[in-house]
Amino acid sequence: MRLAPRRLAPITALVAAIVFATPAHAQAPAPTDEAAVVAVVKKFFDGMRTRDTALMRSTVAPNAMLRSPGGPTGIGDASTVDAFIERIGKSTGPGNDEQIENPRVHIDGQLASLWAYFTLVRGGQTTINHCGVDAFLLAKGPDGWKVFFISDTHRTEGCTPIAGTSAAAATAAMANPKDVSSQDAILAALYDVISGPAGKKRDWDRFRSLFVPGARLIPTGMGRDGKANIRTISPEEYATATGSRLEQSGFFEKEISRTAETYGNVTQAFSTYESRRAADDAKPFARGINSIQLYNDGTRWWVVTIYWDSERPGNEIPAKFLKKP
């Protein structure tokens, strides 16, 4: 795989400070309290999804505030959560479906924070409208945990579906059965979908359909300082960062050798590749190895991870990884 350099959007310092400013001597949260905090936030989203304003209000404290970083000042405009809930109640049709993944909870006494990646799908749709990070602050009173402050980030790039959501199901449904019917088929599709002459638009929906929700692409190599480096990105971030460059200059990548093994549900393929600007170039401008993890759920194959390094002086490809597949 090849990757164009790209600076990923930073997490807003204001929100990070709120969530991660956990005292060094904070009390270790009880598992029941952690679960209760997560349950309150999910209950808030359940109410939003069903437009149940009473359910939403049951999760928030009086005068709870909402403030999303952005705008001219960078810290956004403050509004009340009650006003937000009121807007939800006045709208009609299916509510927006907001889902969170791997929430991180910090608790000290009666104060809790929750930080989580989220995706939002507009009511009645199946594609992600935007995603980002949710930050909730909660306080514990006689009635349990209540939300008193909400903030979030908002982006439309790098939005990876969360497993089990409608967006994940829609992504899976995009796949051409021929692309995911075997190990050979999915790897052939992976190389084919990123290849093409200059000016040819790539089918990024096809690209996305090959990956399991939560999949990661991990390029590694050596920096200018001579030290090893690594990046972890989503398929969406790869498409955004690399797509225009591949389409502008032309790019063809093909597998020239493969060594694969399977244990249980885990399939690991060392896929040696060559990269060319044009399909008929006599010599590749780059070679390397894609370490590709695959998964079969009983109905199709999925790409779980692609971890790759390129050939360079002192890092030549061993002969055993150059045998014809």
Q: What is the largest CA-CA distance in the chain?
A: 75
Would you state the pLDDT for residue 246?
A: 85
Q: If you average pLDDT over residues 237-258, what whole number do you get? A: 88
CB count within 10 Å of CB 163 equals 12
Class of domain 13-158: alpha beta
Cβ-count burial of 208 within 10 angstroms (0-12 exposed, 13-18 middle, 19+ buried)? Answer: buried
pLDDT mean over 265-291: 95
The pLDDT of 297-305, averaged and rounded, is 94
Alpha-carbon span 177 to 179, nearest angstrom: 5
Q: Do domains 13-158 and 174-321 have the same CATH topology?
A: yes
- What is the bridge-based pairing of β-strands 128-141 and 97-108? unpaired
CA distance 1 to 308: 7
CA distance 18 to 15: 5
Q: What is the pLDDT of residue 157?
A: 80
Both tokens assigned to 198: 């200059």
Supply the mean pLDDT for the chain.
87
pLDDT band at 15 (very low <50, low <70, confident <90, very high): very low
Q: Which residues pair with 268 in a beta bridge?
A: 261, 293
Q: How high is the pLDDT of residue 121?
A: 92
Query: For the chain, which residues make up each domain, given as ranges?
Result: 13-158, 174-321
Three-state DSSP state, 77: coil
Lowest-pLDDT choice from 23-32, 87-96, 114-123: 23-32
Please report which confidence band the pLDDT of residue 163 belongs to, taking 50, 70 and 90 as the band edges: confident
3-state secondary structure at position 90:
helix
As given in the structure block, the two tokens for residue 242 are 């690399």
CA distances (Å), 166 to each of 283, 300, 301, in order? Answer: 44, 18, 19
pLDDT tens, 32-51?
Answer: 899 999 999 999 999 999 99
Q: Nearest-CA neighbor of 170 among 127, 199, 130, 133? A: 127
Q: In this model, does residue 29 exceed pLDDT 80?
A: no
CATH class of 174-321: alpha beta
- Given pLDDT bands bounded at 50, 70 and 90, which one contains residue 26? low
Look at 257 and 173; give whichever has higher pLDDT: 257
Q: What local confidence, expressed as pLDDT, does residue 79 receive?
A: 94
More confident residue, 25 or 148: 148
Residue 4's pLDDT band, with cuts at 50, 70 and 90, is very low
If you average pLDDT over residues 292-316, what whole number do you get? 94
Residues 75-104 have pLDDT tens digits of 788 899 999 999 999 988 889 999 999 899
